[in-house]
Structure 1
Amino acid sequence: MAHVTGEVLARAEAELGRPVVLTWRYPIGPAEMEMVVSSTRGQRRLHDVTLFIFNPAGQLALIRKHNYPPGIWRAPGGGVAPGEELAAGAAREAWEETGLKVRITRYLLRVHVTFTCGEREQPWTTHVLLAEADGEPTVRDPKEISAVAWGSLTDLCGPIADAMLATPRGLFTYRAALHRTVAKLLNVI
């Protein structure tokens, strides 16, 4: 049974609004496919929640992981646990990755993506939620996150996207497209 059930989604939509729903296909490399597939084993997790957390000044919380090349940041996110509501899981992930206590404000986007690598395919769903937070982001789990900072959607869709697209990593290409789609939906670009 998947963690994010139809009932969980129905409650999230009732509370946070109906998201834009898109369907994409993205090629990824063999090592990336192994990473995606390994995250689904045993957990049956075929999703992530990605959070666009804004502070009162309009800045966006961004994270870096240790294996990211220079110049690459992304919106924080993670998985919803079995039995957890979408907003509750997103708020927990926000706290774990940024140290920010957030208020989830909107269910903006649901992307059903099929990652491909040769003949292999792996379905995945990204749920994008908007949130608000005060305070300063901090690294709470230095084993997973190397840095957190306030940035902007303009940076995320400009120089950060350029850095992502300069790598051979398909998952960075996917994230750059996801970030740009959010910026378009929010009329930033």
Structure 2
Amino acid sequence: MTATDTDERPGIAAAVVVREGCVLLVRRRVGEGELVWQFPAGEVEGGESETEAAVREAWEETGVVVRVVRGLGERVHPKTGRRMSYTACEVVSGEAYVADAEELAEVVWCGVGDVDSYVPYGLYGPVREYLDRAAATS
């Protein structure tokens, strides 16, 4: 991506955490336009890869330790204009809770088939495909 594709702010890394047919979603205290529920996510810090940032954000926001399954791709988010990367993750340990009460209001394990009721504006294609495969194997 070039600087003309998005603004100059650091990219956002999202952790797509799936466990037993459910996906981990967070609700931010301050909404970002239509974005109410979303994957644990935050800015990539200096010297950090997108996958490292996704793992860190899952821990910082929800208290869940995750490991990378694989990268799912990146795009400029159509609602925020921010560069986004998505990383599929699996739970290593911990139970999800609001670990960052300043940023988050709520966390939920949502059935993969119910994601659209939480994220009605649609998912990035490769994320949708990953979740559909996860639902089929659970």
Q: SS at 2:119's partner residue?
A: helix
Counterpart for residue 128 of structure 2: 183
Q: 1:59 to 1:113 in 2, by over 3 A?
A: closer
Give 3-state SS (helix, strand or coil) of 1:67's partner: strand
Q: Cα RMSD between the aligned structures?
A: 2.9
Conserved in 2, the CA contact under 8 Å of 1:111 and 1:127? yes
Letter in 2 for 1:107: G
Say whether residues 1:145 and 2:104 are aligned partners: yes
Runs of 4+ in 1 over 2 A off after TM superposition: 112-116, 184-189
1:161 aligns with 2:123: no
Judging by fraction of residues, say which structure has more helix.
1
**Native 8 Å contact 2:13 2:51 kept in 1:** no
Letter of the 2:29 partner, please give it: H
Q: Give the CA deviation at 1:115.
A: 6.5
Aligned match for 1:61, one of 8, 24, 46? 24
Q: Aligned equivalents of 1:146 and 1:115: distance in 2? A: 21
Query: What one-letter code is carried by the residue in structure 2 that aligns with 1:183?
Result: R
Give the whole-Å Cα distance in 2 for the aligned partners of 1:130 and 1:183. 11
Q: Does 1:132 align with 2:90?
A: yes
Q: Map Cα deviations across residues 146-188 of structure 1 (whole Å, 9 max, x no partner).
A: 111211232112x2234xxxxxxxxxx4xx333x651234435
What is the percent sequence identity of the aligned residues? Answer: 28
Kindly indicate whether the alpha-carbon contact (under 8 Å) linking 1:48 and 1:77 is maintained by their aligned counterparts in 2.
yes
Q: CA deviation at 1:97?
A: 1.1
Structure with greater strand percent: 2
Written as runs of structure 1 = structure 2, the 5 A alignment for 1:10-29 is: none
Partner of 1:101: 65
Change (3 A) 1:186 1:114: closer
Is the contact made by 2:22 and 2:110 (CA closer than 8 Å) also made in structure 1? yes
Note the C-alpha offset of 1:59: 1.6
For structure 2, list consecutive stretches of 5 or more residues without a partner in the other structure: none
- Which has the larger Rg? 1
Q: Does 2:12 correspond to 1:48? A: yes
Structure 1, unmatched stretches of 5+, are 1-24, 26-35, 117-121, 163-172
Question: Does the residue aligned with 2:86 lie in a helix, a strand or coil?
Answer: strand
What count of residue pairs does the alignment treat as equivalent? 126
